[in-house]
Structure 1
């Protein structure tokens, strides 16, 4: 008997739900199952009829870039009743559905799990009442459930990110960036209210990403006297030369007495204490809307494929699972524990145990609160000692969006610990020439949301003769520790310095190395700063290419950057809905092209109107994107046209995404903390970012062992595990 899978979206909508639906349908068909959409969530299951409809491969074409959910969602009060649940079970069994994938929040998933547990009882009752047959009851004794969390609040324990959160942060950060411009023009304070009834993730992370001055979180209510404290922080910012003030408040924020802290309450407190009439912006449902980000597309896609695998492999004793992500890897955890842990946080908040509530969100959330408190100050919280040591900050390698946030956080974190902070201008050549100057708190003001690299950077690996000049610069400027941030050239430079420590005593200082590269070609850290921004640029370009081809039969060959690393073409291809992804890791042969051309022609002859191939820039020395495009067109013989789109250096530009800003914040703060610890302990170790370490930094040699220096990419690439996902979901040319 063919397995039948039901898929529904329930509760509030979230960007990326359509990507999950598309993945579930296509992965199910790939596994020879039949997939049914249960429209309008559990309300559709209760209504039955046309609300439960089988979906084909083509039914989910074109939905990847759409916000919301094409199969509809609703909050069903009827499902909370016994008769409502009985009717839902009756309708599901009537369609032969006993495997269910629910995309929704904790309420939807809790209700779904409860139905799963009560299913045998309901089946018996329906059979005795004659509402289902004996054969149907015997064929569907159990319900197998997998849940995906669709919630912009990122309020579910058990997954690092929920579907829609990243897109919501895009909306909020774009709004904060825009508001900052007008606030600065008028020397004005703005209060921005964001969603988050019991979870402050959106408020905290967007306050950091947007460079806001103050924020209010449900998990961490301010202590009594917060009103004066807030005014003091804002005033010190103005005294330091800042023209705008931005306050971010979560909708569920309250004080320690449980009284809500609303935007209007904050406005009134500011009016009473300063006489200023702050402006209020309540973003509301705009946070749920719009095109999903690249992350929400590929993450929801990967989770959808895994959810299909989970419900097809589940047996009668299998506990319902929650499918999510941890460190960019798809995981499945028991649904009950995830829901209970999530509800426990709300209980801790209600009981006033705020410290435990923050800790329950995870170590990363706790650390980001600490970082935020440093960044929002208008000046260092400690006085600099007369003999304070000196930490230099240097970019190296190609430009990556988010480099300015790395520098900003590093400078302020160092100053807050009492160090002199130095900027090396122009990357490694700047260190060679001695272009080093001291920087202060106000020098990095406003850098959070800017592209480029204010301190300058260049693709340059020092030669043997440069090393002496670099050592002299470090000595002349009395550099006690060095923070290097960049791509392959940065790693090669610091590796060379580490190997030359015996010859050049000036290199015997603590050095921390952080990844910043759009190629994402560095070992031990899953996402280099800048990679997410470049990925979104690739996906935005694909969306526009797709629209440009809507009026004609056309194939596109889109070329991304990445050099020898296939992160951008593969993950960009998944998020953009490409049919083919050609990667440097796998290369490209004439036999493969011949097969693809034959299938491509057949696809257009069968009624296709659009085809997309994404290709890394160094996939093949001979079969370049231009050659592939010409080959595709020549073999089409006028059936379709082909265009080549080289995205180029726009991938290095643009405003960094919230993910890249937050990633940069965490890395830079951690690196300065490490250098501080080494200086206090009299150590001189070289360390580099490593997600495998609790402290996020590991010995440099340990990290660089994972580098393939010839190919200029890491030996282990987590995204290559997504290749099977791509192969399942990319509609093969000619497939009906």
Structure 2
């Protein structure tokens, strides 16, 4: 929420508006006085990393009554306020719409009571509103994600990771309850990200006799060598008859039917707290920026809009339409119309539920066909967090399809050396949240002279389908194998590339597995850098990875609150640096204590990070210190984020489906896969050449470049902005 507040304040100031913050929600609006305060540029500085909301929130019984809304209208008009950005759930947003509809009558009553004059009433004939959804439940129709949901998913996944360690040590079962009311998003996604065995969500209750089904799956997992069992339960979970399913009941079932120790963990409000994720920061910044544009351009006739995000783009949808459709989901659950409830949640929600079920049920009990097809998994390119999650999903999904899965250790060098082994259900146990790359990877790809050996290795190990997971080198290798099919018949097998690179520089996918984890690592580092810098006047120049792709630099600048971001896509000139020095000096003279600059590692070959630091130090003439921070391989380390685990799982399932379909039809096409505008999309390998800039190792089209104006609006304050 703080990122949204910051974006609203700074965008409004940038647009020349006067901005007020209403403290303690609608209660502050009803109370007035000191709870409605003007905001300036620096009032929202250094809040991106803080959980909760600096302006507070509260439930307000008085606002539910007309008398309370009358007082609220009077308090707003005392400050000349007739445009509101509301950040809250469906109750807060529907309350705002009621307030908007009553506004003309409230204003007329205030005139009649002598509390305002006619001139004031004429100046503010209507209330214009825009809504942002602040809810960890991610239950609002009209937006892919709500503010706070990704951070809550982080808390839950971290807890499940920790619980799994304890459970495995003691060979114990755990039942974990998560929030979500009528929405199973947190439960389902945390079960996928955490590698849980079973999940119970309100939208799709388990079938009759689910207790034995659940215990059967857990038995199979233990038989395959798993030392722990985890069941995730949404707080609104129920059976097909509408009876609540409690964690204690699940625990009792596990103890009685499996004869083992089971424990319950209710995460509670820990899910709401903590530092926000990088995604929540940059998404909320985009939403706040768009909300200001919406209310400033609105007219009395405008229908209020919910500002959401769809496929990484801002989306405006009629506010009350979204509220009504959201409440319809809960109604369908109450009426036990579960198929309709799942449809209302959207296609990706249903897809991920089916993916989880297939992976959970892909136990050793799957019947192997008489002639299973042999699919190999290989990595290539740099390390990306989430690679293990993708391999785990591919193996389990492939087993569910009856295939034999082969793991190639050590990338293409391992293929040439014959380091290939069959992967079983138990071999990938615990890989869902594991950082690094268990199969190994490197940047070496076969040269022309090695293609014959690669072909022989494929034939020797009877590889019938190939899943290549990795970055630019992986895609280049796949394109090369596909191009040489006429010379080497062994390459005439179905093959597919799954994007996994922190650089996020691959064609056919707006986000790669690993990029979100890297971005979180960068933002964590930036938080610490900024804390260290607040003790003295200091400029930091932080260098991020990405090669010639500026995704990490730009998005970390947006999420970390940088004053300036340098990208190879934009270039760097001496004139740019001169202007930056002038802004920097003015800012420090005006009282600034920190100035954060982020530079993509290949933004310019001459104006390096060291050069920039030396230039800023010299021109600062003792006014401030300059420090450099090259984050390096820190960005590739750590456990993958929940998003990367889920993305890797989702894409791997589609890859196995593609290979299965090709083998069933007798085809041998090559493809690369990715998310494009929220949909999993396949592209023929032959199209790769037309979609990439081979010189700079990046796609010709990069969606995130459209966000550059938002970065500038958040960072470049003028003296007028600061004193408006």
In the alignment, what sits opposite 1:204?
188
* Distance in 2 separating the partners of 1:690 and 1:255: 36
C-alpha distance in structure 2 between counterparts of 1:160 and 1:19, whole Å: 18
The correspondence of residues 690-709 of structure 1 with structure 2, limited to 5 A, is: 690-692=674-676, 696-709=681-694
Q: Shift of residue 77 of structure 1?
A: 1.5
How far 1:552 moved relative to its partner? 1.3
Match of 1:712 in 2: 697
* 2:435 aligned residue: 451
Q: Paired residue for 2:119, among 135, 146, 163?
A: 135
Partner residue of 2:662?
A: 678
Matching of residues 324-403 of structure 1 within 5 Å = 324-377=308-361, 379-380=363-364, 382-403=366-387
**What residue is the counterpart of 1:422 in the other structure?**
406
Return the offset for 1:732: 4.5
> Is it true that 1:530 corresponds to 2:514 in the alignment?
yes
Could you tell me whether the CA contact under 8 Å between 1:348 and 1:354 is conserved in 2?
A: yes
Cα deviation, residue 378, structure 1: 5.9
Residue aligning to 2:626:
642
Q: What displacement does 1:499 show?
A: 1.5
Alignment partner, residue 63 of structure 1: 47
Distance 1:493 1:733, change over 3 A: farther
The Cα shift of 1:733 comes to 8.1
Q: Is the 8 A contact 2:508 2:681 kept in 1?
A: no
Structure 1: 5+ residue stretches without partners: 1-16
Matched residue, 2:606: 622
Aligned partners of 1:18 and 1:67 also within 8 Å: yes
CA distance in 1, matches of 2:216, 2:686: 46
Aligned to 2:456: 472
Tell me how far 1:717 sits from its aligned partner: 1.1
| 1:82 matched residue in structure 2 | 66
Unmatched runs of 5 consecutive residues or more in structure 2: none
Q: Work out whether 1:178 is the aligned partner of 2:178.
A: no
Over 3 Å counting, the alpha-carbon distance change for 1:704 and 1:442 in structure 2 is farther
> Which stretch shifts more, 45-54 or 597-606?
597-606
Which of 69, 73, 78 lines up with 1:94 in the alignment? 78
Separation in 2, partners of 1:128, 1:715: 63
d(CA) in 2 for partners of 1:97, 1:544: 38
1:434 and 2:434 correspond: no
Matches within 5 A, 1:454-603: 454-603=438-587
Contact 2:14 2:717 survives alignment (8 Å) = no
Question: Residue deviations 1:349-403, cap 9 Å, x none?
Answer: 0111111111211111101111111222361564112221111111111110000
Q: Is 1:321 aligned with 2:301?
A: no
Ranked by relative contact order (alpha carbons within 8 Å, sequence separation 6 or more), the top structure is 2
Q: Which residue in 2 is equivalent to 1:10?
A: none
Q: What is residue 722 of structure 1 aligned with on the other side?
A: 707
C-alpha distance in 1 between matches for 2:469 and 2:692: 17
Work out the CA distance in 1 between the residues paired with 2:22 and 2:703.
Answer: 33
Structure 2: distance between partners of 1:599 and 1:124: 48
Deviation of 1:241 (Å): 0.9
Provide the alpha-carbon RMSD of the alignment.
Answer: 1.4
CA distance in 2, matches of 1:511, 1:119: 61
Give the TM-score normalised by structure 1.
Answer: 0.96
Residues 458-467 or 554-563, more deviating = 458-467
Q: Deviations over 1:84-128 (max 9, x none)?
A: 112212221221111110000111111111222222222223222
The answer on 1:25 being equivalent to 2:9 is yes
Whole-angstrom distance in 1 between the partners of 2:65 and 2:583 = 52
SS at match of 1:696: strand
- How far off is 1:270 after superposition? 2.2
Partner residue, 2:226? 242
What CA distance in whole angstroms lies between the structure 2 residues aligned with 1:83 and 1:703? Answer: 64
Q: Which moved more, 1:613-622 or 1:430-439?
A: 430-439
Structure 1 stretch 161-170 or stretch 474-483: which is displaced more?
474-483
TM-score between both structures, scaled by the size of structure 2 = 0.97
Q: Moved runs in structure 1, 4+ residues, more than 6 A?
A: none
- CA distance 1:209–1:704, shift in 2 (3 Å): farther
Q: Is the 8 A contact 1:603 1:733 kept in 2?
A: no
